Amino acid sequence: MSITEVQFQAQGAEAAQAAGAPVEGRSQWQLTWRRLRGDKVSMIALVVVVIMIVLAIIAPVFASVTGHPVNAAYPIQGENDAGNPVGPFVNGFWLGTDSTGRDLLVRILFGARISLFVGVVSTFIAAFLGVTIGLIAGYFGGIIDTVLARFTDAVLAFPYVVLSLALAEAFGPSLTIIMVLITFFSWAGIARIVRGQTLSIKEKEYIEAARSLGAGPFRIMFLDILPNLLAPVLVVATLYIPQAIVFESTLSFLGLGVQPPTPSWGNMLADAENFYQVAWWYLVFPAIFLLITTLAFNLLGDGIRDAMDPRTERLVAARRMRRMRDKKRAALLDGQPALQNEQEA
């Protein structure tokens, strides 16, 4: 915090006290929320995420309103004379049907349940593991730290699809395998960040104070250090959710994940590939839902990161840009020597 900011706050506090209003400190979370609320893109992303979650929860409502259960095939209304899927708004199928004449909208919404569940739950487990292991490695150091560093390097470099192929072959493809794999490939990244933060926080004075008061290592780790780590972990976790969703859909696309007839965006898109000549909607609608969901999580994650840290690239870049533009303008006013130089060089 710069001196001017401190002075400014002091003045503000005095003014507030003069007005008789009590001064309330704002927590980091309140400040973040205020900044986030001012960011239009993030708020739209947040609304989209909430809508997706609500749609996934009320998916059975759509099934009963349209009268099309999720796995029910309609070979007569849902397929045309050639046996191909029918398009949007034909015979009461809002987004058309899939290859066996099932309601595409209902299946997309049930697919959203799988995607969001896998994305959120595996990221949550990964964050829990990552925070615990990262804290221990950062706080105690030594052999745990070395093992963690080597392991993280190995995980980050190893092709996950290849490993998934091998595991799906050995244990048979299932939702559980997918979630284990996602967790396995995500926790190390979180642990690495937590470890770095722990290393710097544990040298702070208040930790020394806690230790001198007789606090044990676990009390310090979980009560004194952990609360300061939640912000970066939240940012990383938000950005891991879309990755997990993409991962699940990719494995299901390859046939290694969620198995039909359970709908998942990945296995729907895999089936849709065989019908690209006759049913564009079968490919386009699941793809749009998938893209909107991952894009919303990505935008929200970027937004939270910017809101947590006011010195973000976005703001810094804008400032630098302004400086560069001024410089260019100044160069133009000076005549054209800069241009001539360039031609000579």
d(Cα 130, Cα 301) in Å, to the nearest integer?
18
First to last CA, the chain: 44
Nearer to other proteins, 208 or 313 (CB): 313
3-state secondary structure of 164: helix
Angstrom CA distances, 73 to 36, 108, 157, 277, stand at: 45, 15, 43, 21
Are 308 and 235 contacting, i.e. CB atoms less than 8 angstroms apart?
yes
Phi-psi region of 39 (alpha: psi -120 to 50; beta: other; left: phi over 0): beta
Least Å distance between CB 251 and other proteins? 10
Least Å distance between CB 30 and other proteins? 28
d(Cα 236, Cα 232) in Å, to the nearest integer?
6
Residue with tokens 């965006």: 265
Least Å distance between CB 269 and other proteins? 6
Least Å distance between CB 320 and other proteins? 6
Least Å distance between CB 79 and other proteins? 20
Residue with tokens 């796995």: 71
Nearer to other proteins, 234 or 292 (CB): 292
d(Cα 298, Cα 241) in Å, to the nearest integer?
8
Q: Rounded to 5 degrees, what angle do the CA atoms 124, 37, 26 make? A: 85
Nearer to other proteins, 201 or 250 (CB): 250
Least Å distance between CB 165 and other proteins? 6
Omega of the bond leading into 286 within 30 degrees of 0 (cis): no
Residues of the shown chain interacting with other proteins in the complex, contacts defined by CB under 8 A: 154, 156-163, 165-171, 173, 242, 246, 249-250, 253-256, 266, 269-270, 272-273, 276-277, 280, 283-284, 287, 290-291, 294-295, 298-299, 302, 313, 316-318, 320-321, 324, 338, 341-342, 345
